[in-house]
Amino acid sequence: MKEIKLTDSEEVIMEMLWEKEKLFMKEILESYPEPKPASTTVATLLKRMQNKNLVGYTLFGNSREYFAKVKKSEYFKEEMTSMIDRFFNSSVTQFASFFTSNTKLTQKQLKELREIIDKEIKE
């Protein structure tokens, strides 16, 4: 997947689609947090997301049922890789150092991280 950045507004819709899998425009509007945007705004966002190949739809008469064309895990992986590239010169080590020293992780959380890393090393 090539890097594709969602705007904050697009991300709200993608979260809905990732959670529900398929939604009609009416359902998207109903699920939208207050203040709810105009239906034309949501239609524009959906069109932009289709152009980015992130969203597809199935036609039922005059209604479109929208669905995500990219998994949340894939999108998040790309976002993390992009962030590490931009802010840490593509160095996972620099990222890990920053993350562990600048977040308030408990001893338990640090041990859990070490267990995850140890497991990956074994595999």
d(CA 20, CA 103): 32
Q: Are 4 and 54 in contact (CB under 8 A)?
A: yes
Q: Could you tell me the pLDDT band of residue 64, with boundaries at 50, 70 and 90?
A: very high
The CA distances from residue 26 to 38, 72, 73, 91, 102, in Å, are 11, 22, 26, 44, 43
Query: Domain 8-68 belongs to what topology?
Result: Arc Repressor Mutant, subunit A (1.10.10)
Rounded to two decimals, the pTM is: 0.73
CATH code 1.10.10.10 region(s) in the chain: 8-68
The mean pLDDT of 55-69, rounded to a whole number, is 94
> What are 88's two structure tokens?
């840490």
Torsion sign, CA atoms 54, 59, 60, 64: positive
Looking at residue 22, the DSSP 8-state letter turns out to be E
d(CA 8, CA 64): 23
SS3 label, residue 91: coil
Residue 3 has pLDDT above 60, yes or no: no
What are 18-48's pLDDT values in tens digits? 999 999 999 999 998 888 899 999 999 999 9
Residues 6+ apart with CB under 8 A from 77: none
